[in-house]
Chain A
Amino acid sequence: MFSKKMVIIVGAVALIVVNIIILSVNSSRYSSYGSGRTAIFFIAPFQKTVTKSVQFFKNIWGHYFFLVSVAKENDNLKKAINQATDKNNKYREVEISNFRLRNLLNFRKTMTNKVLVAEVVGQDPSPWFKTIIIDKGKSDGVEKGLPVVVPEGIAGQIIDISRNYSKVLLIIDRNSAVDALVQRTRARGLIKGQSDGRCLSKYVLRKHDVKVGDTVVSSGLDGVFPKGLRVGCVTEIVKRNSGIFQEVTVTPYVNFEKLEEVLVVLGSPKHDFVSKQ
């Protein structure tokens, strides 16, 4: 009744329709019918092994071979950071020295005498003596006995000169002496260096009013330091039961440990003794 060809075509169409129906039914809900478990049971261990191996090699690549390039990149970044830090440090140093030199320049403008900027190149080899070596000497017009100052106050005095360098005796050295006055009361004394980095104002009369915190300035009477330059502040006063003098300890305003640039005051201080009569 039906040809063989016709049966095949109808069978195929029916199969397609059934297939579509099954697919449409299965797509709406999950079902494994137990076979999935078996498949997983057999396949998963191998999958795991392969996956682990892949992961292992991937890790090796990622954490070792790949790290070579990361290490290189890291090195480059480190170099860049170092350069940036170095540059930053240089800028900071320039900024600090700019501030210091501006300070020095401002102070220089206030000085009536001609001054010469010098750099500290060395310090005394012994802790018992307080001298520094500066990079200005005879060829720059420096002479023995000239005062050396910084914006904070008096630093010292030239005691030795060579052609291009000079030795400065700091006021904290035991051999140094500066004639000074207490700014507030004009009490006179002789500032002498002590071994602890401070100074002692000697021969200050007991009757004179001196208080802790008073500023001490140069009197100009020693013929070395110009009058009115700051020396330090009074930090201790000892009045003994006997004697006509009081011991006044003066802490210098200058930080001698951080001395980098100084000003040499050229020419002897000019005393203006012209009377106003």
Chain B
Amino acid sequence: MTYCFYVCVCFCLVIFQTTIIPHIPLFNNFYDLLIPFIIYLGLFRPAHEGILFILALGFLMDNLSGGPFGLYLTTYFWLFIVVKLVIQYLHARNNILLLFIIVAGVLMENIIFIAGVSMSDPDSQFFAITIRTVVFQILWAGCTGFFFITFLNHIHKKLEKWFNGLIAEKS
């Protein structure tokens, strides 16, 4: 059930990100929607449940993207690890800290991507547009990421409750 939910959410997010978002001018510099999902897995789900899924997701995104292979895999894996480490020391379920983690996650992805691009093309120049892209992504993440994670958590809990009830009824 849980994996089914993960697959559905990821499928919807990937489709939305690759087909709808590029056509909306307002979302030109929107952040990677899978980041909040990975943070959610890191914060609220056990490690063994999320890690394989995250690797598969990174693999999928690397296949869809035109960037050097492994960028998404690296980003998602390390983001998951960092989130898992953070919640060992800090009470990350605090709302403000959650917001900070989302912003940090988006920033981390961008840094890894810029580093990846620089590695693949050392001559590449980064213009003001690069900074603008990063700033806009962070702003978007700050504005919407928290609600996104909260919504995911809520839906997942509801689904789990419903599914458990269904099983209990049948047995």
Contacts and interface: CB of A to CB of B under 8 A. Distances in A.
Interface residues of B, number: 28
B120 A174 contact: yes
A175 B66 contact: yes
A125 B114 contact: no
Interface in A164-213: 167, 169-170, 173-175, 192, 194-196
Contacts, number: 67
B111 to A, nearest CB: 11
A125 B124 contact: no
A128 interface: yes
B59 to A, nearest CB: 13
A126 interface: yes
A194 B113 CA distance: 15
Interface in B107-132: 113-114, 117, 120-121, 124-127, 129-130
Contacts of B126: 195
B64 interface: yes
A131 B121 contact: no
A127 interface: yes
Nearest to A122: B18
B130 A129 contact: no
A124 interface: yes
Nearest to A121: B19
Interface residues of A, number: 25
B113 A126 contact: yes
Contact of A131 (B32, B66, B137): B66
A128 B114 contact: yes
A108 interface: no
Nearest to A160: B63
Interface string B128-140: 0110010001000
Interface in A95-129: 121-129
Contacts of B113: 126, 128
Interface in B82-128: 113-114, 117, 120-121, 124-127
B65 A196 contact: no
Nearest to B19: A122
Contacts of A254: none
A194 B125 CA distance: 8
B61 interface: yes
Contact of A175 (B18, B22, B121, B129): B121
B19 A128 contact: no
A133 B66 contact: no
Interface of A: 121-131, 133, 159-160, 167, 169-170, 173-175, 192, 194-196, 257
